């Protein structure tokens, strides 16, 4: 089965072509970073309008690269949520209409499921069941993934997501949007131990996170000081350390509590090199192994939407003709793929 997939949940427009036998044939992406930089964050209305401009050229480029035409395709997948509703609707309307015009089945994909299944695009896929640490701009969750589609949330953030904590503290440091990768770059020049920020909720049992206190701690540390490069680097180092150490400790706790020895890290913050290094060390000491998607598939992309969409289409899932998008969509409400397939066979 060969499918085309469209991602438009936030500020990346992307289109990919994935084939169940030949693998990933194309993945095209346009990032709106420059468009939103002026405002210091994503402006939803501008994001929606830009998706409208980008999706068709990206689709043409992806099909060309995949040396495929609509006649070679067996379905179309698109991100149906969660995300910015206007941005989602542009992609959903575009992809649903393509599928209708091409007389192909369509499927609406859950963006977080796609992040979780992104490591399946790699030559060596993680085993099931496993623990997943999902760390993106909007979500920070630990999940027991029993099989594709069966997700048991173990703990999540009570306030800010890890990516949001990176982005908001980066803004306090005067770093350009998007702050996460920028702060990580500055942290490399930072001196360890000059600042120490709280590691929230580490002293309490459980698998919940809380990152909103970090902004206040940084604000206090910066009071009365000028934002010089070394100060920015030192504070960045301490912020990154606080976030990374909290994520590592809780992820290891989840591995310990579930008795599983495989950990998948997904979502934009999974691109953070310090997090990757520290998790690798900590997991190895525990006898566990960590799996990641390649760096470019940690942040938003259409290849991961194609992977989740392909599995759901193969299981027989079909979207109706209605153009549907959901800003909020609980991950735990998804149906396991094997169950979807057997329910289809029973009817
Ligand atoms: O998964 P993603 O691309 O979009 C969402 O679905 O949210 O994640 C974006 C988040 C942003 O908060 C961004 O600052 C963060 O991931 N991020 C990073 C790094 N690369 C992206 N945070 C820390 N270090 C990085 N290298
Ligand atoms: Zn995402």
Residue ranges of the chain assigned to CATH 3.30.420.40: 2-116+298-346, 128-292
Pocket test for ligand 1, best of 30, 179, 269, 276 (most atoms within 8 A of CB): 269
Q: Report the pLDDT value the prediction gives residue 205, as an integer from 0 to 100.
A: 86
* Sign of the torsion angle spanned by Cα atoms 243, 249, 253, 256: positive
Q: Report the pLDDT value the prediction gives residue 314, as an integer from 0 to 100.
A: 96
128-292: CATH topology: Nucleotidyltransferase; domain 5 (3.30.420)
Q: What is the dotted CATH code of the domain comprising 2-116+298-346?
A: 3.30.420.40
Q: Does the structure show a pLDDT above 60 at 288?
A: yes
* Whole-structure pTM value: 0.95
The DSSP bridge pattern shows strands 106-110 and 75-81 to be: parallel
Cα 72 versus chain centre, distance: 29
How many C-beta atoms lie closer than 10 Å to residue 338's C-beta? Answer: 13
| CA 74 to ligand 1 centroid distance, Å | 32
Q: What does the alpha-carbon distance between residue 139 and residue 177 come to, in Å, rounded to a whole number?
A: 18
User: In Å, how far are 110, 191, 317 from 107, measured between CA atoms?
Assistant: 10, 49, 7
Of ligand 1's listed atoms, the one at least distance from the Cα of 83 is 6
Q: Does the structure show a pLDDT above 90 at 211?
A: yes
Q: Does the structure show a pLDDT above 70 at 340?
A: no
CB 117 within 8 A of CB 311: yes
* Sign of the torsion angle spanned by Cα atoms 340, 103, 77, 127: positive
User: In Å, how far are 1, 3, 10, 37, 342 from 70, measured between CA atoms?
Assistant: 13, 9, 26, 36, 29
Q: Using a CB cutoff of 5 Å, list residues around ligand 2, an ion.
A: 136, 300
Q: How confident is the model at residue 347 (pLDDT cuts 50, 70, 90)?
A: low
For 212-271, write each residue's pLDDT tens digit: 999 999 999 999 999 999 999 999 999 999 999 999 999 999 999 999 999 999 999 999
Q: Does the structure show a pLDDT above 90 at 204?
A: no
| Alpha helices (H) in 259-302, listed in sequence order | 273-286
Q: How confident is the model at residue 274 (pLDDT cuts 50, 70, 90)?
A: very high
| Alpha helices (H) in the chain, listed in sequence order | 33-37, 44-65, 85-102, 111-117, 162-172, 179-187, 212-222, 229-258, 273-286, 303-314, 337-346
Q: Report the pLDDT value the prediction gives residue 200, as an integer from 0 to 100.
A: 79
Q: What does the alpha-carbon distance between residue 93 and residue 323 come to, in Å, rounded to a whole number?
A: 6
Q: How confident is the model at residue 177 (pLDDT cuts 50, 70, 90)?
A: confident
| CA 16 to ligand 1 centroid distance, Å | 20
Q: What does the alpha-carbon distance between residue 293 and residue 234 come to, in Å, rounded to a whole number?
A: 29
Q: What does the alpha-carbon distance between residue 276 and residue 265 come to, in Å, rounded to a whole number?
A: 9
CB 338 within 8 A of CB 147: yes
């Amino acid at each position: 089965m060969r499918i085309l997939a469209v991602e438009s949940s936030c500020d990346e427009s992307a289109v990919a072509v994935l084939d169940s036998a030949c693998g990933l044939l194309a993945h095209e992406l346009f990032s709106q970073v420059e468009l939103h930089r002026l405002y210091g964050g994503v402006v939803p209305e501008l994001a929606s309008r830009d998706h409208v401009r980008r999706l068709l050229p990206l689709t043409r480029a992806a099909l060309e690269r995949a040396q495929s035409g609509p006649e070679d395709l067996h379905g179309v997948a698109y991100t149906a949520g969660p995300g910015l509703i206007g941005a989602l609707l542009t992609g959903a309307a575009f992809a649903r209409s393509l599928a209708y015009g091409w007389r192909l089945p369509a499927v609406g994909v859950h963006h977080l499921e796609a992040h979780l299944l992104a490591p399946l695009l790699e030559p060596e896929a993680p085993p099931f069941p496993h623990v997943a640490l999902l760390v993106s701009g909007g979500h920070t969750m630990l999940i027991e993934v029993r099989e594709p589609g069966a997700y048991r949330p173990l703990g999540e953030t009570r306030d800010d997501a890890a990516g949001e904590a990176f982005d908001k503290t980066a803004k306090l440091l005067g770093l350009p949007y998007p702050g996460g990768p920028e702060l990580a770059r500055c942290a490399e020049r930072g001196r360890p131990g000059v600042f120490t920020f709280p590691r929230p909720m580490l002293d309490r049992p459980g698998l919940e996170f809380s990152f909103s206190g970090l902004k206040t701690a940084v604000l206090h540390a910066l009071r009365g000081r000028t934002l010089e490069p070394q100060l920015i680097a030192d504070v960045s180092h301490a912020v990154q350390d606080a976030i990374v150490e909290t994520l590592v400790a809780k992820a290891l706790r989840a591995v310990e509590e579930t008795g599983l020895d495989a950990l998948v890290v997904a979502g934009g913050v999974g691109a953070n090199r310090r997090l990757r290094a520290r998790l690798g060390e900590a997991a190895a000491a525990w006898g566990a192994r960590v799996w990641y998607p390649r760096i470019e598939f940690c942040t938003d992309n259409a290849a991961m939407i194609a992977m989740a969409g392909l599995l759901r289409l193969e299981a027989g899932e079909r979207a109706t003709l209605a153009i549907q998008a959901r800003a909020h969509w609980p991950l735990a409400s998804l149906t396991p793929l094997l169950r979807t397939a057997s329910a289809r066979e029973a009817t």
